[in-house]
Structure 1
Amino acid sequence: MPTRIPQEERTRQMRRRLLEATVDSLVELGWSGTTTTVVSQRAGVSRGAQLHHFPTKHDLVVAAVEFITERRRSQMDAVLADLPVEGRTRAVLEALSAQFISPVFFAALELWVAARTDESLRAEVDDLERRIGRETHAHAVTLLGIDESRGRNRQLVQATLDLVRGLGLAATLSDDSMRRTAILDAWAITLDHELER
């Protein structure tokens, strides 16, 4: 006789499928094409079950972006263990850049654009983005192995994050990998020269 999966685990799996389907839909269909009906169909979940956990599209999308961001955070923690000693700065830039050319960034971008003209969504997105921004900044400081209170380290980290975010925006329209590589190579040299270790 097969072992029955506990209800709590089935609920957790269903929520994960809904959140992953939401991100996939945002990336493929954009904000306007992502509906709760589309998401529930993609996730293989009944519409009633989806509405029980996420009553509105806003709830679903914000939860999905947060869920995937947490997954990326775990991946960033794993990167820390694998950073080389030689060429560390360039490796850190590659890891940070990867965050901004990933499906989660493209999904978040759809959320930002929608929030620009939707005040109720903007309030939710502002809180989420502030928190994610602080966490990403802290990760960058840790990955670079610096004390951000020294010299211009804090400003250089923020400039780095602004740079990789901008490169991520460029990647939404075309394959910009050659230019991105050249820019990150140059910025790594700048950081190695300017950061106070």
Structure 2
Amino acid sequence: MEEPGLRRKQLRSVATRDRLIRSALDEIFEVGYHAATTQGIALRASVSRGALLHHFPNRADIVIAAMEALLDDGTRQIKAVTNELQSGSASLADFVEFLWRLFSGRFFYLSLEMITESRNDPELRLRMIPVVRRFHEALDEIWTQFCAGSERTPQQARLILNLTVCLMRGMGVQTVLRPEPGYYREMVDAWKALLPHLIDGAPGDILFTGETSPQT
């Protein structure tokens, strides 16, 4: 039987690890990837640098753990909003608005910091690829469930929703150097008007067959 003292120690260790990961995300978001230090992360988490090194022996370890936590959080949020959409408590327009907030805010900027850094760090990139792959596999599953009631195949559903994500993410990149809310609002509203037709209408038929529907 597990001793209560050992159990408490394990719980404290898990709590410390989670606090360090959350502090790493805060540090990277506030000062940027290159300025973020393990010392700064430890200070934010109110732990010693030795405690940090016990959980994460090098900087890459905590960066990967932070990316995993970030993408897990994003997956849960997307899944929750998709469930609301399927239950009728949220509209397709609400879903697009949610994705725009997600990919133009903290979640997006943190992922952008780490993904950009991995471009010139082969070791970090190799470790990050499977983390990002799991995120996209989870999204593919969500997208398939999302369009379960439509005439679209799972592959078509994934294409439609991944087009949506890529649009939002691309606009998110632009916000760094083009802070013009009206510019993005026009495109978000245009996509909200188009998306239902891609899922259930003739524009979607054209997208997947290259042919228009017969004229009546």
TM-score (norm 2): 0.78
Q: 1:86 to 1:176 in 2, by over 3 A?
A: farther
Report matched runs for 1:41-56 at 5 Å. Answer: 41-56=43-58
Report matched runs for 1:31-46 at 5 Å. Answer: 31-46=33-48
Say yes or no: does 1:101 pair with 2:127.
no
- 2 CA distance for matches of 1:62 and 1:172? 24
Report matched runs for 1:182-197 at 5 Å. Answer: 182-196=186-200
> Which has the greater radius of gyration?
2
Say yes or no: does 1:157 pair with 2:140.
no
Q: Is the 8 Å Cα contact of residues 42 and 49 (structure 2) preserved in structure 1?
A: yes
- 1:159 CA displacement: 1.3
Q: 2:95 aligns with which of 92, 95, 107?
A: 92
Query: What per-residue deviation string (whole Å, max 9, x for no partner) do you get for residues 88-118 of structure 1?
Result: 2211212222221232321111111111111
Unmatched 5+ stretches in structure 1: none
Q: 2:77 aligns with which of 75, 78, 96?
A: 75
Partner of 2:10: 8
Partner of 1:115: 118
- 1:155 CA displacement: 2.6
Unmatched 5+ stretches in structure 2: 202-216
- 1 CA distance for matches of 2:96 and 2:76? 17
- 1:188 CA displacement: 2.0
Q: 2:137 aligns with which of 134, 138, 141?
A: 134
Aligned residue identity for 1:21: S
Q: Is the 8 Å Cα contact of residues 147 and 199 (structure 2) preserved in structure 1?
A: no
Query: What per-residue deviation string (whole Å, max 9, x for no partner) do you get for residues 64-105 of structure 1?
Result: 121122223222333234337497221121222222123232
TM-score (norm 1): 0.85
Number of matched residues? 195
Aligned residue identity for 2:66: A
Over the residues paired in the alignment, what is the CA RMSD in angstroms?
2.7
Aligned residue identity for 1:129: V
Secondary structure at 1:195 match in 2: helix
- 2 CA distance for matches of 1:24 and 1:86? 32
Q: Is the 8 Å Cα contact of residues 18 and 50 (structure 1) preserved in structure 2?
A: yes
Sequence identity percentage? 28
Tell me which moved more, 128-137 or 4-13: 4-13
Secondary structure at 1:97 match in 2: helix
